[in-house]
Structures are given as structure tokens and as C-alpha cells.
Structure 1
Amino acid sequence: MATSYKTFLVNSSVKKRPSYVSDNSLHYKISQFLVFKLIKKVLPKVPLQINDVHKTVSTTAAKLLDAFVDSFFEFSDQPLLPSQSNFAPVEELGEAILVTSIHGRIPDDFPEGVYIRNGPNPLFGGLKSTNSIFGRSSHIWVEGEGMLHALYFKRSSHGSWTVIYNNKYVETDTYKLETQRNKPMFIPTIEGDSPAILCSYLLNWLRFGKVNKYISNTNVFEHSGKYYSVAENHIPQEIDIFTLKTLQNWDVNGAWDRPFTSHPKKAPGTGELITLGVAATKPFAVIGVISADGKKLVHKADLKLNRSTLCHEIGVTQRYYVIMDFPLTIDLNRLLRGGPLIKYNKEEYARIGVMHRYGDANSIKWFEVEPNCTFHIINSFEDGHEVVVRGCRSLDSLIPGPDMSLKEYEWLSRCYEWRLNMQTGEVKEKDLCGANVVYMDFPMIHGNFVGIKNRFAYTQVVDPLAGATHDVPKYGGLAKLYFEESCAEFSMRNKKQSEEAIRVEWHMFEKNTYCSGAAFVPRDGGLEEDDGWIVAFVHSEDTNISEVHIIDTKKFCGETVAKITIPSRVPYGFHGAFMPIAFEAQ
């Protein structure tokens, strides 16, 4: 035993890394066969849902496994094109910075609070790929550790504004593990050669007790006076809203033990928080209802889906929950057969489920709809016998990455509406912008109208040409949607189209300038649904300067109210929110 152990360590210390082995090589096929045989035996025993950190193997075995990975897996950075420079990570500031450069004027009735945005900021220089004897595996563009970027608005007794900027990593369990060791530890597990992904799953689990990193990079939300960062591959992390420090994982006092949607919704009327947990193994989807005070899980139900749908959202109305079961799926059996782990299949069924409050799987009424991929719901509400669902719908998926051979940018989304008749089962579908082809995503509405009928919404507008040379879309402007007004331009040309196309107003940025994390801020004392502002992180690729813009939603097409220059670059990210806070309570 001593001899074989020493021999293994000697072999493991070889500095030369393996080069990529082609799929046609005999060595690759033998490796593939061995991995498939091993995984088929072990995979059913691997807890693919998120679990607490635990010691899976002994310290000696862990060192052996680490040595194996160090010797036979070569980590490399995924290169960025010049046009992708603002997707590169930045360093933590270490302390908050006073912002002094403001063009324009912050409105007097703008609320005190913090505008905060989440987004990926990969450790160790960027997203990684690995090469090994088993093939190649890679991170996809939505991965990377979460970093919070926050802009604080504090008003003095004299009415003047103090603006402070800070950024900080969300310190998940896996973030702490990799930063302590000061190198990449988790092997990518989402995209690549099937045997490499399967082997990565197994090695990550054996070494760390989890199959992938907890990224917490997608959204920020508030519930019962506490603030959380989240991505749907793990439970949320509670954060200190003033310092951005990560406090603890939030499992609802031990009652929630699975992934947590990036877009939980507060139920109108009760203030309860509705969440959805999607996993790669059964139960594929579980709905949870958290009390208004955030202290207990008051309802939990397995939706009994027969596939793992990569569902990013859940909708609520006054009486129902809305579930999107679309054909973007996570399939371990497909991976075992040599196919991709995540795949969009437009030939499979798509349906929307309407579930009674506190119901179970048997209470869901399903509506078959045209196959599509919808990551974001604009809003859902009841209108007579109909449940109306509006969202940003595409005909293909951006995850794991778009099929660039498709025509007409099918992976980009447009605003869409489904009307689901609860009495007759009839479905009415329509593109809200009619024949006007405009791609939009990252919708936002006034928070008081979640789950009830609303007149207005806002989205980020895709610049399709800016994203034509790479996978990730860029957003060159903002749109304001008027759901109860038709498009006057279309009404002059075609009466039928005018009935289908809603009115849209635009706020476009300068050339080569793009936004992320846009959020609606209601005006203090405002009486109308659209009385407020949009705030957004905006970056100029010509000057490499990042700003926060404040846009008056009543004068949406007009000049930006204020442009606040951020003292360091802010990479493009995902979702943002404005949180009113009382600074004297700090």
C-alpha cells in the first residue's frame, strides 16, 4: 500500500498538463466507456440537490482526489473578445467610496435607499474550462460568483444628497472554500463532453459534498425587513444591506432544503413569499409558501412534474400560482446517453399551470401552449374567468448558449401574452408588439401591482447587432409598455395590427452604451402606477466609464434626469432592485 501511494503521488506531481483528446481517439472512447459504467452505478447515490457541507471522504482520500484533479485536469481561462471587455470581473473595493461626479440633478422627491444589482464576477480572472482524458467541460455565461454593486442615496436635513458606492462578493460556502485555497477547485459541470461532465459531477461531490458551486449571482430581494442574494442552484444568502456583508444561508429555519427560485413573489393580500425549487432529480419542482414574517414555511407541495424544467420564474395572482413548464430541460439520463445536460427541444410540449393557493399537484389546471422558452414573467393576474400571463418569450434558449445558426435571433425574447380561461380551458396567445420586431427582456413593474392587473411595464431593449458576434445579449436602451393603449403608428397602416400591438415608448442610450439591472423606483407620495423613475447601471464601451442613470418614467423619451459616474468599472450583470432604507437605523 505504501508503495502504490508513493507511486501515485509521484505521478500526480507531473507538471505537464494533458492536451485535449479528440472524440475520435481510442483513449477517449475507453475513458468514456469507463466513466459511463462508473456513473451509472454511483449517480443514483449522489445527492444532486443542494446539501450542507459534509465530509464525503477521509482527509487522506481527499488529498488523493485533489492530486488526481491537479494532475489530470487542466484549467484554462475562457477568452473574451474585445467587444466583451465589460463582462470581465473586477476587484472588490474594500470600502465604500463617496461619489462626487453627478451630471444633472437627483430629484428632491427621490426616495432615500439603495439601488443594488447582482451579477457574475468570476474568481481567478474569469470563467473556466477544463481539459482532461475524459474530454472538455466549461462554465457557461450565466456562471461566476455573485458580486453586489450598490449605490446609496442619503438626503441631509437641508435636502442635499450624499451618494456612496460599494461592491462586494457574496460569500457563499463555495466562495469561501476556493478563496481559502486561492485557486479554482470545482470542475465545470454544465457544458462540454458528456464523460467529462459526468466525471466532474462525481469528483466535485466526492471532494466537496456538492456537485457545483453556489454562485448567488442573479437577483436581490427583500422579505420581512431582511435582504437576500440568490441564484436558483442554492438557497439564498442573507446580506447586511448597509455593508453588503454576507450573514448566513437562509433555509427558513431548516424547513427549506432545496434550490430557491431567483424570482420569488410576494402574494397580493397576504404578503407571503412564494418560491419554487427546481432540481435535476425527483421531485423536479416543489412550491413553497413562506410566512409574511419570514419565520416559517406554511405550505409546501411537490408539483409532480415528469421532467426537470429549467424554470427561472413563478407567477402569482390573488387566488393562484402560475407555473411555466417549458421544454428547456435538465436531463441526467440524456447526459448518460452522451447528450447535453441542458437542452431546449422545440419538438417537446410546453404548458402553463394554474394552481390554487395552498393547493397540491392535483389542483393544477394545465394549459397547452406553443413551444417556447420564457425566463421572465412581466406579471400575472386574474381578469374575469381568465388568468393573464405576460412574459418575455423566445423560440429558442440563451442557456446554455444560443444556436448561432438559427435565423431571426430566435433565442432573443419578445413581449408576449397568454390568456388562460379557467372555465373553458381555452388559450389565447399573442405577441404584444405585433409585427414590430423588438427584442426585450429583464422586465420590471411597480411592486405594488405584482399579481394584480397593471397598465405599465418596463424592459431592457436588446441591441441584436451588438450581440451578433458572441453569445450574450447587450441592452442598448429601455422600453415603457402601455398595455391598455394601442400603437398609433400601426393603426395608421393596418387596423388589425393596431389591435394587437400595444403602445411602446423608448429611451435609447448613446452608441456602444449598454445597461443592466434596471429597476423601477416609485415616487414618494406618487398616486399613479407609472409615477417614478427607472434606475440602471449603464456602461460606455467607448470611454470605459460606468454610470447610474435616473430616468423619469412620466417623461420617458426625454433627457436623463441624472447621470452618476461610478468611481470604478461595473461589469454587466443581471437583476437590480431599489430598496428604501432608513439610514438612521444603521
Structure 2
Amino acid sequence: MTHTQSSMKDAPIAVAAPVDNGVENPYLLGVFAPVRDELTLDNLEVIGEIPKDLNGVYLRNGPNRQFDAPGRYHMFDGDGMIHAAHFENGTVRYRNRYVRTAAFEREAEAGRALWTGLMENPEGNPFGNGHGLGIKDAANTDVIYHRGQVLATWYLCGSPYGVDPLSLETVGAQDFLGTFAGDMMAHPKVDEATNELFWFDYGPDQNYLRYGVIGAEGTQTHLTHIDLPAPRLPHDMAITENYSILMDLPLVQDQEARKAGKYRIFYDRELVSRFAVVPRHGTGADVRWFEARPCYIYHVVNSWEEGEEIVMDACRVKNPQHQTTFDHPLASMLAYMRLDAQLYRYRFNLRTGQTTETALDDANIEFPSVDSRIMGRPHRYSYNMSLGTEPMLLFDGIVRFDSQTGSKVEHKFGSGRWGAEAPFAPRDNSTGETDGYLVCFVNDEMEDRGEIDIFDAEGVESGPVARILLPQRVPSGFHACWVRSDQLAEPAMRP
């Protein structure tokens, strides 16, 4: 194994302490503990054989705080760090780098934390996002490919940071050639057939969603407002060939807390779930609203059109604010992070205005993905993460779900081993949704190290065809993407 180690140009990275205001915080311990070093590693030990027709790069974002901060730590607080595995003709190179946001650079220059976290009053923070929410935009949530670069995004709406998919160099806050208006939510959608990117944003004092489209040339081509009855907190959206679907869900901001300068959310069980179906380039006046039973949706699987119906598969959370059973000073945070979600299908009939709801499966699975080449078109297979029974957000296996038959196959990582979101990686000249691989990072608690596992998408249940051992953990985090070799050859768009 050979490796190089980058150095911080301003200040050394501090190792997070396992104690948070005198309380052991599980999201600073074990597989969640931040790592110090930014590494570039090759000639790694491989168990099995890396397929030569797996060419591209797997990237996964997640929280990894640079400095200990005052107050209570929430998993969402950590600075974004992207971990990547670049595959080329049977070889692999691992690299990890911080997303160097404006807040990250400010703290690096100061040599200490300047922001408090999500669970503290943000009044003294230097700045927040464009909507006046004073929480640090950490760009730690998702990573998605568009026009030669990946975009690192933040769950409360922030600046989308352009990152080079190979070097992981932070290019900068992307303004789409000076045309971008607003912040961007965590999960923008890319239609690879048109090369358009779809996004929305929201704010703590904003009674509307701002919905926009970035065109194939890299500039904003469409922008409109969709009215809401009050500020809302939607996390994801969906697209079809002709429509976008946005959400007005009952997880809302506490307005009294907002007046006091704090950020607090609650689940209002008196409200229904509402879904806005809008033509891709339509206005707020073109929206068709569809109602459904109360719930929250963190992540959409996919959506498409069937005749006069819009079909949307999602991971539905029945009760995002369930009563905690944890005997812990941070019990409220632990309860929120303990997801209980099931695969679910909505049908929105554009002729009758009716909504049909159907549970597809009862297992607790989340962080879904489909073949990105068919986003917005009918899919058969989705690749999902199975949630373990521990009180923290941990993935104990991969589940391939067949939406045509309702059947599933899965692989469990094993005792003390926890995985990461595993998007579909088409093999060279791939011809279908299972003609390729799944790649994910796995942390081994017993060995205190990470690895890169490769699965044949056609035989997920058979376990990994190759395991690449790493000398450093990859802290458990959030979302991932796969960038194909043909996409890596595309010229990058600069801010």
C-alpha cells in the first residue's frame, strides 16, 4: 500500500472528543467518530478481485467536524467530508477530503469552532444560509453529479458546492454562471436524458417553495414560487418526464421557537400530507395538489408517468417524532435519528384529482436509489439500506427490491459491521438495471477500520465479489453517488 496525506493549509484538524458537554454522545463515538487525516491511497489489499468492467468513481458525503464546538453535537452539524473510491481497469484509489465551504474556511483560519450546533441558539454564529437561518451550512448531506462535477449539498438548504469528482478539490459555491437564485435543498434531481437539474428551496420565514431548473447549458432556465400555508421543511422531490413533484408535509417548524431565534421542529398530526404536481417548466399557478395521509418522507425512490397517473415510490415515515424510549440526555436527538420507514407507492390521478396509497413492503429500509440513467422513468429494481435495531442511524445490510414482483433479496454485513448508501454502478456497456455493481463503504467495529465492498447487482445476496481493506475508518455518514467513466471525461463547469 502506498499513500499520500494532504495537510490543512490553515490549521491542523482537531480530533473530536467523545464527551459532549459532559455527556457521551454516540454520534461522536465508534464508527461515527471523525477522522483526522485526508488521505490518498492506492495498492490496497484486496480480498477477491476487482471487476475490470467497473470503471468510474463512488463518492459518499457525510459529517466530520473539523473542530470541537460548544454545546450539544447533532450528527447534522459535522463539516462535510467526501470519501471516494476511483475504479479503473481492475485497480482502485481511495481519497477523502473536506468540502471547503465558506464556514469551514472561516473556522480553519481561526483555528477553532465559530459556530454552535443545531441544538443550540445560533444567535452568535457568524452567518448561516441565504434565508437567514443562522446554522452553519456544512454541505455534508448529498453528493450528485451534474455537468462534469459533483455538487455537495446541505439538508437545510444551502450553497451547492462544486467538487472535482477525482481530486475532490472544492471548486467553490456553484452559482451556475451567475444565474442561480436561492439556496438548494439536499436532493436536487438530474435527468440524464435532458441533462437538466431540478431543485427547490425553503426557509424558516418563507410561505412558499422556490422551484427552479438548471438547463443543459449550465444556467438557470426556469424559476417559480409555489405557495404554502406556512413555512415547511420538505427534504426531497421527484421528477418524471414531464412533471416535478414537491411536498408539503406535517413536519413543521415551531414558530414560537423561531421568534426566540431558535430552530425547532415538530410533527403536526392535524395536517394532511400534500403533494404538488407541477409541469417541469410550469408556474405556481399550474400546480395540482394531491392529499394523502399524514407522514414524512425523507427520500424518494423514483417517479414516472402511467397514462393519466403520476406514480411515486418513496420511503414513508409514519411517525417522524415518535416518543423516545432512550434513557439518555440526548434522547430527543436519538429518537429523531432513529428512522422507521417502509417502501410505499403513491398514485396521483391527473384526471380525477384522487390519490391512491399502497404499502409495498413492511421492512425498515431507507436511503434508496435506482439506476440514475432512468431517473424519472419506470424502474423495476431499487437498491436500499436496511436499518439496524441500534438506537443510532446505522445500516446493517443492502436490500434489492423488485417493484414488479414485490420480492426482495438482501445481504447483511455481519455483526459489528455497518455499511453506506450503495448506488447502482453500471458495468461497461451495461444494458439494464441489474447489469452492474453496487459499491459501498463498510466499517468494522471490531477491527476499527473501513473497507470498500463491491457487489454484483444481479446477486446481492451472495455477498461482495471483492473487499478492499482500508487502514482508516470511513465515519458513518449520509448519501452517495456513482459517476461513470464516460461522465468523468466530460468538461467541468466552473462557478
Query: What band does the TM-score fall into relative to the shorter chain?
Result: 0.7 to 0.9
Q: CA deviation at 1:148?
A: 0.8
C-alpha distance in structure 2 between counterparts of 1:120 and 1:349, whole Å: 32
Unaligned 5+ segments in structure 2 are: 1-19, 327-334
1:339 Cα deviation from its structure 2 partner: 8.5
SS of alignment partner, residue 411 of structure 2? strand
Question: Which residue of structure 2 aligns with residue 186 of structure 1?
Answer: 115
What is residue 439 of structure 1 aligned with on the other side? 364
Corresponding residue of 1:10: none
Matching residue within 233, 236, 240 for 2:164: 240
Match of 1:4 in 2: none
1:130-529 aligned at under 5 Å gives the runs: 130=71, 138-155=72-89, 161-188=90-117, 190-191=118-119, 197=121, 200-201=122-123, 204-205=126-127, 211-232=134-155, 233-267=157-191, 269-282=193-206, 284-294=208-218, 296-336=219-259, 341-397=264-320, 403-405=323-325, 411-433=339-361, 437-464=362-389, 466-467=390-391, 472-485=392-405, 502-529=406-433
Shift of 1:81: 4.0
Q: How far apart are the structure 1 equivalents of 2:109 and 2:260? A: 37
The amino acid of 2:25's aligned partner reads: L
Correspondence for 2:25 among 77, 80, 88: 80
**Would the alpha carbon gap of residues 578 and 203 (structure 1) be closer, same or farther in structure 2, given more than 3 Å must change?**
closer
Moved more, 227-236 or 168-177: 227-236
Cα pair 1:105 1:562 within 8 Å, conserved: yes
1:78 to partner: Cα distance? 6.0
Q: Which has the higher strand share?
A: 2
The answer as to whether partners of 1:280 and 1:331 remain within 8 angstroms in 2 is no
Say if 1:351 and 1:367, in contact at 8 Å, map to a contact too: yes
1:560 deviates by 1.4
Question: Relative CO higher for 1 or 2, CA cutoff 8 Å, sep ≥ 6?
Answer: 2
Counterpart secondary structure, 1:275: strand
Paired residues of 2:338 and 2:393 also in contact (CA < 8 A): no
Asked if the contact 1:167–1:244 (Cα under 8 Å) also holds between the matched residues in 2, the reply is yes
User: 1:229-279 CA distances to partner (integer Å, 9 max, x unpaired)?
Assistant: 111431111112222111111012232242202211123642211111121
TM-score (norm 2): 0.86
Distance 1:129 1:424 in 2: 54
1:358 and 1:172, CA in 2 relative to 1: closer, same or farther beyond 3 A?
Answer: same
Structure 1 residues 151 and 507, CA gap change in structure 2 (3 angstroms): same
Q: How much does 1:109 deviate?
A: 1.8
Query: Going by fraction, where is helix more abundant, 1 or 2?
Result: 1
- AA at the equivalent of 1:179: A
Cα 1:142–1:397, aligned 2, differ >3 Å: closer, same or farther? farther
Is 1:443–1:459's contact at 8 Å kept on the other side of the alignment? yes
Give the AA of the match of 2:316.
R
**Structure 1 contact 220–575 (Cα < 8 Å) conserved:** yes
CA deviations on 1:423-481 (whole Å, 9 max, x unpaired) are 11121111101xxx4100000100111111111111000112x22xxxx3211001111
Q: Does the 8 Å contact 1:268/1:451 carry over to 2?
A: no
Give yes or no for contact 1:262–1:313 (8 Å, CA) kept in 2.
yes
Distance verdict in 2 for CA 1:100–1:357, change over 3 Å: closer
Contact 1:204/1:210 (8 A) holds in 2: no
Instruction: State the number of aligned residues.
Output: 459
The residue aligned with 2:34 is 89
**Which whole-Å CA distance do the structure 2 matches of 1:521 and 1:82 have between them?**
29
- Equivalent AA in structure 1 for residue 454 of structure 2: I
Mapping of residues 32-47 of structure 1, within 5 Å: none
CA deviations on 1:318-351 (whole Å, 9 max, x unpaired) are 1110012111123444433799622222222211
Q: Distance in 2 between matches of 1:396 and 1:338?
A: 26
CA separation of 1:397 and 1:204: change in aligned 2, threshold 3 A: farther
Q: State how far apart, in whole Å, the 1-side matches of 2:363 and 2:190 are.
A: 30
**What whole-Å deviation, never above 9, does each CA across 1:523-542 have from its counterpart, x for those lacking one?**
21122222111111111112
Could you tell me which amino acid in structure 2 is paired with residue 293 of structure 1?
A: E
Counterpart of 2:62, as a letter, is G
SS in 2 for 1:335: helix
Deviation at 1:308, TM superposition (A): 2.3
Q: Structure 1 339/298 Cα, relative in aligned 2: closer, same or farther at 3 Å?
A: closer
8 Å Cα contact 1:536-1:549 kept in structure 2: yes
Per-residue deviation at 1:152?
1.4
- 1:107: which partner in 2? 51
Separation of aligned partners in 2, 1:290 and 1:83: 37
Q: CA RMSD in A?
A: 2.6
Are 1:122 and 1:145, in contact at CA under 8 Å, matched by a contact in 2?
yes
Kept after mapping to 2: 8 A contact 1:419/1:429: yes
Query: For 2:373, what is the secondary structure of its paired residue?
Result: helix
Q: CA 1:539/1:203 → structure 2, altered by over 3 Å: closer, same or farther?
A: closer
Query: Could you list the per-position Cα deviations for residues 288-308 of structure 1 after superposition, in whole angstroms to 9, with x for gaps in the alignment?
Result: 1011121x1110011111222
Q: Provide the rounded CA distance (Å) in 1 between the counterparts of 2:27 and 2:202.
A: 36
Paired with 2:435 and 2:34, the residues of 1 have a C-alpha distance of 35
Closer/same/farther in 2, CA of residues 322 and 348 from structure 1, 3 Å limit: same
Identical columns (%): 28
Q: Are residues 339 and 97 of structure 1, via their aligned partners in 2, closer, same or farther at CA, if it must alter by over 3 Å?
A: closer
CA-CA distance at 1:508 after TM superposition = 1.2
Q: Deviations over 1:381-438 (max 9, x none)?
A: 111111111101112227xxx642499x9841111111111111121111101xxx41
Give the match for residue 544 of structure 1: 448
What CA distance in whole angstroms lies between the structure 2 residues aligned with 1:222 and 1:581? 12
Indicate whether 1:566 and 2:495 are aligned. no
Give the structure 2 partner of residue 118 of structure 1: 61
Cα separation, 2, equivalents of 1:106 and 1:86: 25
Corresponding letter in the other structure for 1:220: V
Q: Specify the SS of the correspondent of 2:451.
A: strand
State the distance in 2 between where 1:240 and 1:268 align. Answer: 19
Check whether the contact 1:326–1:372 (CA below 8 A) recurs between aligned residues. yes
Question: 1:139 offset after TM fit, Å?
Answer: 4.0
* SS in structure 1 of the partner of residue 421 of structure 2: strand
Aligned mates of 1:338, 1:507 — CA distance in 2: 45
Q: Distance in 2 between matches of 1:210 and 1:177?
A: 18
| 1:342-378 deviation digits (Å, cap 9, x = unpaired) | 2222222211111112111121111111100101000
Structure 1: distance between partners of 2:144 and 2:27: 33
Deviations 1:500-559 (A, max 9, x none): xx1111111111211113221012112222211111111111221211111111112113
Q: For residue 471 of structure 2, give the secondary structure of its aligned residue in structure 1.
A: coil
Contact 2:371 2:423 in 1 (8 A): no
Q: Is the 8 A contact 1:377 1:389 kept in 2?
A: yes
Shift of residue 129, structure 1, vs aligned partner: 4.6
Q: Assess if the C-alpha contact under 8 Å between 2:34 and 2:475 holds in 1.
A: yes
Which residue of structure 1 aligns with residue 330 of structure 2? none
CA contact (8 A) 1:118 1:517 kept: no
Which residue type is aligned with residue 401 of structure 2?
L
